[in-house]
Structure 1
Amino acid sequence: MKKHPEIQLLIFDLGNVIYDIDYQRTFDKLYAKLPNEKHAMVKEFMVSPIHMDLETGAIDEAGFRDGVREYFSTDWEDAWIDEAWNSLLVAIPQERLDLLLRLKQKYPLFMLSNTNSIHFKVVEQAFLNQLPENTWPHLFDHLFLSHEMGLRKPGEAIYQSVLQKLGAKPEQCLFFDDLKENLLGAEKVGIRTHHINHPKALINFFQDVQ
């Protein structure tokens, strides 16, 4: 990696950086279950307190499912709610996993993600299925997950917490995210950033890493 020679560790967002996600898949499942007059509520749900509370661990999985039922005034079963919620998780392209395995030989790797326990069970299983045996527990030196930290990007507090845990200077860290607001939050505390703005962006950035 020739971009910033002083970089000593790498921090990766999860969604659309490592793991492809598509919110439309969840939207479509909800649209199919809801009358037309409630369709506008679907995208609004993604910025609702129920969603935010799940991502910061303020409510548990049962509380989230009850919140979904109350929000949409439905009697959906737990399993269907989880299925709809997890349908936005598409897949991890193998070339990104192969890249991470190569980078692991040169850098400490960290994940920093706004996520939740329902999604992360599926995420972990995907890593386990696609990585060589016994690789997943050691691929990342630490997982910084919003629902475990009680903090979300792009708030400065989550980046400060990461730096404190790492014991690193912010300019020694390079953070990859697909959302500009999350990069701006990191930059406010001095972390170097790179915007992942298309599916090959991560691969292209590290094309000189063999």
Structure 2
Amino acid sequence: MRGIKNIIFDYGNVIFEIDFKRTQQAFKQLGILNIDTFFAHLGHNPLFDDFETGSISPAEFRNGIRKAANNLQLTDQQIDDAWNSLLVGTTSDNHNVLLKAKQRYRTFLLSNNNEIHYDWIINYLKTAFKINNYDAYFEKAYFSQHMKLRKPNTNIFEQVLKENNLNPAETLFIDDSPQHIEGAKKVGLNTLLMTEKPDQLESFLIANHIL
């Protein structure tokens, strides 16, 4: 891809596989109704936005799930297990791809995330790959709950651009969510919608002339 000097990667379903249907099913089993409007890829209850921007604590999030399920007896573990069922995993091959990209571009991670998922992922990385975090794989990793902002709002993209002195015309944003792509376009970023599963990341980047 011509003129690109910087890449901002999304995490879920770009680098790391996630499965919304798993969590939809798990929430159903907790007693939550109208799951397609409560939690889905293209839309969800405001509870999730609040959690991803750090506006509410894990305890407040869990209480929100108890209220939605109309079951105040649900344990923290039951809720965390249902919520974390979304998280499938990644591969060492993808980590190698990120290092290849880092050799050619300034690379960044920008993920809508939350404290419960983040803690699970960090533990998973340590257990599965013996790495503590993504510091070695990107110039900087950004997570929504730390920034108090989330995609697709333009202010999250603007902050990453400003902090790193990035020219949007020279920067590519890769995400699997069409609504996030639209937000990135509003600030002038080049965009690429991830249309493959994360285990096809390298071939996807090669096919789009990035690697």
TM-score by length of structure 1 reads: 0.88
Identity rate, percent = 34
Per the alignment, do residues 156 and 20 of structure 1 end up closer, same or farther by CA in structure 2, a change over 3 Å counting? same
Query: What RMSD in Å do the two structures reach over aligned CA positions?
Result: 2.0
List alignment gaps of at least 5 residues for structure 2. Answer: none
Instruction: Give matches, 1:19-168, under 5 Å.
Output: 19-34=16-31, 38-40=32-34, 42-46=35-39, 47-74=44-71, 75-131=73-129, 133=131, 136-168=134-166
Number of matched pairs: 203
Matched with 2:201 is: 202
Q: Secondary structure at the match of 1:115?
A: coil
Amino acid of the residue matched to residue 175 of structure 1?
F
Q: Using a 3 Å threshold, how does the CA distance of structure 1 residues 135 and 33 change in structure 2: closer, same or farther?
A: closer
Please state how far the C-alpha of 1:133 moved relative to its aligned partner. 4.9
User: C-alpha displacement at 1:65, in angstroms?
Assistant: 0.6
Shift of 1:130: 4.3
Matched residue of 1:139: which SS? coil
CA drift at 1:171: 1.1
